[in-house]
Amino acid sequence: MAASFVTLFQWRLNSMLLQENEILLGVKDQIESLISKLDAVGSFTGDADRILGRESCHQSWASELRGMLCEVEDFVDDFIIKVYGQTEKDREESIAEFGNELQNINSRVSEILNRRPRLEASLMLEEIQRFLRSNFVFDEDKETALASCMLNYINLPYDLKLSLLFCRAFPGYYRKTKGALVPVLVAAGLIQEKPGELMEDKAQENIERLLDLGMLEQDDVGYDCFRVPSPYYELSLSVMNAEDFFISTANSDSIILPTAHHVSIHDAENTITNMNSLLHSLFVSAKDGLSKASSDCLETVLYNAKLLRVLDLENTKLKTLPDEVGKLVNLRYLGVRHSQINELPESIRNLRNLQTLDISCSGNEFELSNGVLNLAQLRHLKMCRTVNNGEVRVPRGISRLRNLQTLEGIYAGGGIAKELGNMTQLRSLDVRSVSDDHADELYASVTKLTGLRNLSLTAEWNGIAYDSSSPLPYENSLFPCLESFSPPPLLETLELKGCLTEMPLWLGSMENLTRLVMASSHLSENPTTILQFLPNLKYLSMFHAYKGKRMEREFFRAGGFPKLEYLKIVSRNLVEWTEMEEGALPCLKQLYFWNCMRLMGLPEGLQHVATLQKLVLFNVHGDLTRRLNPNGGPQNYKIKHIPLVESYVHLCGWMVWKT
């Protein structure tokens, strides 16, 4: 069957059968019959017809089917909300009524399918061009490029179409990582749920596919961030209404359509208004926080939006979360990043379907209450405070959350370290303020997490302060007993933030490691002696990892770092990188020197790294930028082959060189 809005509705029904099997046992046959009928829809060009606005019997038929299924989907959600909390007798009556309505729905679907018109073989390119001319003003070359993009978009499976639009729903000034978008796609119902498979893996595949197709691209701001590139960025705006999507910015005076199922409001200081009760997704962001009027209106919106599945309130600076959130029993995703919230309402325990809770960079005094232990479906818990190491204390019994895959920003003291050993389903773990009193238990527990893919460990803050010119306002203390640690075998990402007396030997045996961050290590020895033999390492960030003044030839040998693509070095001590062997760093694409304010020399041999696409020099010594300047700089020959060079020097600002 063609991937379309029909497919998503089938996924929704199948997911409901999996999650609510006990409740729906009496109507299972009617639901499976409806799923089977929808299999007969087959391939059609309804998405293209709706986007292009073509007047045809097929467009009318596809619109009728889509409209009916949207009504049915809302009816299903209403039913789930209604039976939640009912007595056994009332629930039996509701299920009986639901079964009768399902029979009517089956009949209506059969009748619509019987009127299905004959389909055209293909779309005409000139119709697409006519559509583009009516929506854009551009030259012939841009028209051709947009026409090609439109064809690519139309030929996408429907779940990928919506995945692209959800990427577009986030404001441009928030760069999103793949890891941040994955739970949103899952919560929005864009990923098919299958027994024994993780929906997050499929969501990751979808993002990778959009990247391969050029519909997403890596953002210059960060190695693991992405954005929707032009012309897909512009094109997406013209097709969002066809998918019941709405985006408003600070300069927009558009009215939210009553049919909009997904609403994204950027810079929403004073632009939140009453919305329809059919909302499935709501994204609100405000650089300077919400006004009181918008905050009050938000409570009304949440009170009415019973069908809401995704609620993302980023940087709104909310101080409290309305109690109405606890009534959104359909909610799968709740994000309040960069807020001033110090506690969640007690009603949060009612969110029986919540999959993701993101409270990253919340209030300075934030602690998690026992209510979170009621969230049996929780898959991703992302936390941190904005002070010290950002650790958040969680209640004892956190290991009861058997579906939890991601646990970020946790403090492992007070017996929590031992509990972690029982959470063998974890795939991503971020532990803050690691100290002597619980380190042994923590390392023993992490060793048991054989399915772990991502691990971040941060030693506790020792409170050492520096003067105002220092790039570091504080330092992490020494990692306790790290030499005895044995990492899980499938680990792909590792972050170690704390001082090391020497490089752990086990680092050299991590064959699956693709990303490594070392921060505040302050090693006297060369850290690359071990790291250069890692066969799959693609990303390496050394943030004050080495306290020496010079990097010599042995730091980057020929044949070492065979797959490294991204290298970032931050150091207040580094003065010079003298030379590198020809054949070193054979795959390097991006090289960053960040806050290396004493750095005065780049290595001889850098000119031989033919793969290098970008060099960034941020806060380096002014003499270095003069030596590298393309207008007569004596060492420009080392970097003139690099397509993009960006340099920032205090008081001089940014300089960008392109070849």
What are the tens digits of pLDDT across the range 214-247?
A: 898 876 555 677 888 877 887 777 777 667 787 7
Residue ranges with strand state E in 446-514 = 454-459, 493-497
Using a pLDDT cut of 90, give the percent of the chain over it.
40
- Give the tens place of pLDDT for each residue, 472-482: 445 678 888 88
pLDDT winner (highest mean) among 323-327, 385-389, 609-613: 609-613
pLDDT winner (highest mean) among 24-33, 262-271, 523-532: 523-532
pLDDT winner (highest mean) among 117-126, 168-177, 343-352, 466-475: 343-352
Q: CA geometry: angle at 227 spanning 162 and 49, to 5°? A: 30
Rounded Cα gap, residues 132 and 138, in angstroms = 9
DSSP secondary structure code for residue 56 in this structure: S
- Residue that wins the pLDDT comparison between 320 and 64: 320
Q: Are 310 and 187 in contact (CB under 8 A)?
A: yes
Q: Is the pLDDT of residue 566 over 90?
A: yes
N-terminal to C-terminal alpha carbon distance within the chain: 49
Q: CA geometry: angle at 552 spanning 548 and 554, to 5°? A: 115
- Give the tens place of pLDDT for each residue, 624-639: 989 999 988 999 999 9
Residue 71 belongs to some domain of the structure: yes
Rounded Cα gap, residues 389 and 401, in angstroms = 24
Residue 524 belongs to some domain of the structure: no
Where a domain ends, among 123, 143, 169?
A: 123
Listed residue (420, 415, 417) closest to 401, CA to CA: 420
Total number of domains constituting the chain: 2
Residue 565 belongs to some domain of the structure: yes
With H, G, I as helix, E, B as strand and everything else as coil, classify residue 191.
coil
Where a domain ends, among 123, 144, 175?
A: 123
Q: Is the pLDDT of residue 404 over 90?
A: yes
Q: What is the DSSP string of 498-562?
A: SB-SS--GGGGG-TT--EEEEES--BSS-THHHHTT-TT--EEEEES-B--SEE-GGGS-TT-ST
Give the domain extent around 630. Answer: 548-659
Structure tokens at 481: 């007993």
| Mean pLDDT of the residues in the chain | 83
Residue 386 belongs to some domain of the structure: no
pLDDT of residue 183: 94
Rounded Cα gap, residues 621 and 531, in angstroms = 28
The residue assigned the tokens 């467009």 is 59
The predicted model gives 23-29 an average pLDDT of 78
Rounded Cα gap, residues 455 and 422, in angstroms = 16
Contacts with 443 (C-beta within 8 Å, 6 or more apart), sequence order: 481, 482, 484, 485, 486
> Rounded to an integer, what is the distance from CA 242 to the centroid of its chain?
25
pLDDT of residue 596: 93
Structure tokens at 504: 């752990």
DSSP secondary structure code for residue 229 in this structure: P
Q: Are 498 and 478 in contact (CB under 8 A)?
A: yes
The predicted model gives 388-417 an average pLDDT of 92
pLDDT of residue 117: 62
Q: How confident is the model at residue 468 (pLDDT cuts 50, 70, 90)?
A: very low
- Residue that wins the pLDDT comparison between 207 and 390: 207
**Nearest 5°: phi and psi at 76?**
-60, -45
Q: CA geometry: angle at 628 spanning 623 and 633, to 5°? A: 90
Structure tokens at 133: 């001319």
- Residue that wins the pLDDT comparison between 176 and 523: 523
- Residue that wins the pLDDT comparison between 658 and 351: 351
Structure tokens at 435: 């100290």
Rounded Cα gap, residues 275 and 380, in angstroms = 28
Output the pTM of the full model: 0.86
- Give the tens place of pLDDT for each residue, 597-625: 999 999 999 999 999 999 999 999 889 98
Rounded Cα gap, residues 176 and 192, in angstroms = 23
Q: How confident is the model at residue 121 (pLDDT cuts 50, 70, 90)?
A: very low
Q: Directed axis angle between helix 125-135 and helix 140-154, to 10°?
A: 120
Residue ranges with strand state E in 55-166 = none
- Give one word for 42, left, alpha or beta, with left for phi > 0 and alpha for psi -120 to 50: left
- Give the tens place of pLDDT for each residue, 290-310: 777 777 778 888 888 888 999
Residue 650 belongs to some domain of the structure: yes
Where a domain ends, among 76, 103, 123?
A: 123
pLDDT of residue 563: 97
User: Lowest-pLDDT range, 22-36, 195-209, 217-231?
Assistant: 217-231
Residue 626 belongs to some domain of the structure: yes
Rounded Cα gap, residues 366 and 385, in angstroms = 7
Rounded Cα gap, residues 31 and 98, in angstroms = 10
CA atoms within 13 A on the CB side of 557: 11
CA atoms within 13 A on the CB side of 542: 23
pLDDT of residue 108: 83
Q: CA geometry: angle at 60 spanning 56 and 62, to 5°? A: 110
Structure tokens at 31: 């639901």
User: Lowest-pLDDT range, 55-69, 445-459, 572-586?
Assistant: 55-69
Q: Is the pLDDT of residue 469 over 50?
A: no
CA atoms within 13 A on the CB side of 170: 24
Structure tokens at 328: 């959104």
Q: Is the pLDDT of residue 132 over 80?
A: no
How long, in residues, is the chain?
659
Rounded Cα gap, residues 538 and 516, in angstroms = 8
Residue 204 belongs to some domain of the structure: no
pLDDT of residue 659: 52
- Residue that wins the pLDDT comparison between 86 and 47: 86
Structure tokens at 199: 């929906």
**Alpha-carbon torsion angle 349, 354, 359, 365, nearest 10:** 10
Residue 584 belongs to some domain of the structure: yes
pLDDT of residue 34: 82
DSSP secondary structure code for residue 627 in this structure: H
pLDDT of residue 109: 80
Q: Directed axis angle between helix 28-38 and helix 88-114, to 10°?
A: 20
Rounded Cα gap, residues 315 and 336, in angstroms = 7
